[in-house]
Chains A and B, each alone.
Chain A
Amino acid sequence: MTSALGKDLLGLESLTSEQIRLILDTAEPFKEISERAIKKVPALRGSTIVNLFFENSTRTRISFEFAEKRLSADTVNVASSGSSVQKGETLVDTARNLEAMRIDMVVIRHGASGAAQFLAERIESNVINAGDGTHEHPTQGLLDLLTLRDRLGDLAGKRVCICGDVLHSRVARSNIWGLKHVGAEVAVCGPRSLLPNAIEEFGVIVFDRIEEAIEWADALNVLRLQLERMTAGYIPSSREYNRVFGVSRERLERAPRDILILHPGPMNRGVEIDSDVADGPHSVILHQVTNGVAIRMAVLYLLAGGRPELAEAAKGGRA
């Protein structure tokens, strides 16, 4: 199978800026399809795609399902919880079973970092990483880039700050790699206990205070604060987090320019982001969701690739 992206999409770290641009450009026409009355094109007709979700995630799974169905693919959802050890069926066996059923593509979300690569190395089907542990969530990173590009144009030199629990966030990592590849300036902002110790080595600016980030940025990507972080002792309380780091209307009003606000969802209103910001004029959060389907359609379209060897048999004419 020939494809400009290779067999799988496992993360943004290893992509080139050309590949990222290709995906963003390919997503453009797919946006329009979702505006039609009949939101379907036959491009992936006959393909079988399995959504293998080991972690609960309604929104990402639905977004992928729409993307797959709008390309006329046949989709199967497999929801599974727990690790291989708990489940009793190893990831290796799951992989082999899928392959035996001649699945064309697998979209996998798993709680272990590296799980997507583990699967990709063991099956011939295309593998799309829908989130592996705290490692990467490439389609989220891509839809964030597309949303930023829609509003800011060429992203080279633009300033984007990722705010929140970067330590545990695969969305943050994918965003950092994606933004750096397209030449943006990247910063992070959050309590040091929620930033990786080696964060400076990522080549990003670190802001300790949200006010500094707002002063600097063209856009903020506000991460969800998971409530487990409190019980694990990384921060004292969500109340304090909101008072010190929350993106509020008052803080945004002091911004020297019109800042875009992104959020991967689901939001903890009143914790990392206040409702009047989430629903306000700076927010492009719903736009992200729309772009999510287009990006996923683009990725599926590009990965499925063509098989020119079939052309010998088909002997197709053009035009």
Chain B
Amino acid sequence: MTTASDSASVISARNLRKVYGRQAAIDGLSFDIAPGRIVGLIGPNGSGKTTTLKAILGLTGFEGELAVLGRDPRLERDALMEEVCFIADVAILPGWLRVRDAVDFVAGVHPRFDRSKAERYLALTKLKPDMKVRSMSKGMVVQLHLALVMAIDARLLVLDEPTLGLDILYRKQFYQNLLEDYFDENKTIVITTHQIEEVEHILSDLMFIREGKIVLSASMEDIGERYAEVMVGPQHINPARALQPISERSVFGKSVLLFDGVSREQLAVLGEVRTPSLADLFVATMKGAQQ
């Protein structure tokens, strides 16, 4: 890997804006994603996550500047798709498609597809070459799609709610396969999902998006340093509140306070300090933005 674009960002966005009617779906987004990261793009429904992904994939027009692997997805989508892969949603493979034909087709049109790799994945599942998508369970469709995608040596993989509607076994399996067999330092993964708990342990970076704007963008290490959660007994509640927590909730009669940028030593005197879960951080951030 010696080309100039490799050292730079995989995705570089400046002032992305997309308006549907009068509503801005994304409103001045700017961010950079470095190679070898797994980035979670997290936000409530209608926050602009999917529009952002569509812009990255060249599926929608937008204002602003965007470079994906050094290319403008509006103008160079066809070339881009050789190095970018995406799973847009579950069960979007057409019902008439047979496993064998799906493998043949992708092998036929994709220069970076490794057929033997796909067949190895498929051999681990219950999928048979003659099966049609129509006759598969939702989980099996995702297995097929994942087998196809993981056999493509893409530099950027975009996942939009990849495990929606799957049961817990398939969901676990999905992320496990992704991490163990696919991901390496030359690849970058961008995931949007509602199920934050599920991706929490695999993400390297995090972007919270709300009403078309990024409200938090940080690496997981930064998050661990910046945010802390303290369980405070009633005797310490007033000094704790004086440190201006960004959220407060009560669990079993104790208060749990979430702090942004307060040192852990300072908090340790008040009670037990933990790194907050992403779900709690998400709720706190979204609430904060509403005020």
The reply to whether chain A is a binding partner of chain B is no
